Amino acid sequence: MNKIKNTFNNIFIETKFKRHYKTLEILDNIVENQEIRYIDDILSFMKDNDGAINPDVRSKTLFLGGMRGEILRKCPGSYGHICCNYSVINLYIGCPINCSYCILQSYLNQPATIINVDIENIFSNLRNIFSASKDRLFRIGTGELGDSLVYDDITNYSIDFVNFFTEFDNAIFEFKTKTDKIANLLKIVPNKGNIVVGFSVNPDIIINSEEKNAAALDDRINAMRLLIQKGYLIALHFDPLILIDNFEYEYETVIKKIFSQIESKKIQWISLGAFRYTTDLKKAIQSNYPDTKILAEEFALCEDKKFRYLRPVRAQLYKFILNTLKSARSDVPVYFCMESPQIWNELKPHNDQIKKIVFGDKI
């Protein structure tokens, strides 16, 4: 059941998008009648407003504007760690789910949640990119700097993106979410097998304590079922895996519950990533979530300046998940997110299929 009600205390709009159809659509879908202020451009807005460190403050201020810089960006990855060749569109910048472990609370410095409304510009650029590289398989998502579906009830972007990507054979598009906001997706039938809805999953004990406004696990699984019935493919993201008491029991319960209700052939891929943080993120977690226990374990500083569980501990966590997936009769391709070559070589989760889907081999 949805926990997020998209309410905002303040709304700012970039002046040149004042009458843009997406701006008007979003405003129509926001129930409250807040005062709206118009800003010449986002740079002046950023200059005049101090960054909101607390994610609750940021999620209550909305800025509607246009994309800046590259439309399609390579996932930044992590130095010295293998990247999964993902490309991102920063449609949303900011997220109201407010997970305790989320990198956004230290990575973002803007004082508002940004929704980019110039969708025709986004699609025009993507069309040119796809047409220029027809022999390349693009794997793209919008869930890097914000949940792909958390604002979908006010933007209706999922409908626009599904309809757009039906034009292309050389692109796979993924919505990444911790919500069950799938109402718009259920209104349309994807007529090509290139739309994936990826769900981040964790045990309920973690959802309840660390994923403040996320949907419950059962609600996410129910959303998976409904989407599969409509013709969508699913992905699972066990990221971050968090070392907790009864880790094996809790995560085995999650995997058994999912695979008792979801056919493995409908799952396109599964990613695994252990909890990691930067020095700045640690400070943000301690400030924003003083009661969390996720920092209590032993961590090591890695080559990318991120702290991770000790390598033998990570390997043990991954090995357990891989074996549990195997016992659940899953033949779904599995890859690691931001992991070291040593872990990849030791556990070897990938196969020919994952090399093509994830690492972008020629079609």
Mean pLDDT, all residues of the chain = 89
Band of pLDDT at residue 175, cut at 50, 70 and 90? very high
Query: How do residues 94-151 score in pLDDT, each as one tens digit?
Result: 999 999 999 998 888 788 899 999 999 999 999 999 999 988 889 999 978 899 999 9
- Amino acid making up residue 226: L
Of 95, 91, 90, 89, residue with least CA distance to 112: 95
Q: Where are the domains of the chain?
A: 67-91+118-357
Q: Which two tokens stand for residue 37?
A: 């202020």
Domain 67-91+118-357 has CATH 3.40.50.720: no
- Calculate ∠ Cα 100-104-107, nearest 5°: 130
Q: How many CB atoms sit inside 10 A of residue 175's CB?
A: 27
Identify whether the C-beta of residue 216 lies closer than 8 Å to the C-beta of residue 251. no
Q: What pLDDT is attached to residue 5? A: 63
**Residue 262 pLDDT more than 50?**
yes
The alpha-helical segments, DSSP class H, found in the chain are 21-29, 42-48, 55-59, 104-107, 119-132, 152-155, 157-165, 204-210, 217-230, 247-259, 279-288, 311-327, 341-347, 352-357
- The torsion defined by the Cα of 303, 325, 266 and 133, in degrees rounded to 10, comes to 20
Asked if residue 141 lies in contact with residue 172, where contact means CB atoms within 8 angstroms, the answer is no
**pLDDT score at 198:** 97
SS (HEC) of 106-133? HHCCCCCEEEECCHHHHHHHHHHHHHHC
> What is d(CA 335, CA 275) in angstroms, rounded to the nearest whole number?
15
Residue type, 177: T
What digits encode the pLDDT tens for the residues 37-74?
999 887 777 777 665 567 777 888 899 999 888 888 88
**Tokens linked to 319:** 């090995």
Residue 3 has pLDDT above 60, yes or no: no
Sign of CA dihedral 230, 139, 74, 118: negative
Torsion of CA 347, 348, 353, 357, to 10 degrees: 80
Decide if pLDDT at 363 tops 50.
no
Rounded to an integer, the average pLDDT of 230-245 is 96
Q: Rounded mean pLDDT of 154-169? A: 95
Cα separation, 290 vs 271, in Å, equals 29
pLDDT in tens, 310-357: 999 999 999 999 999 999 887 888 999 888 888 888 887 755 556 555
| CA dist., res. 19 & res. 25, Å (int) | 10
- Give yes or no for a contact between 90 and 67, defined as CB atoms under 8 angstroms apart: yes
Q: What is the pLDDT of residue 80?
A: 61
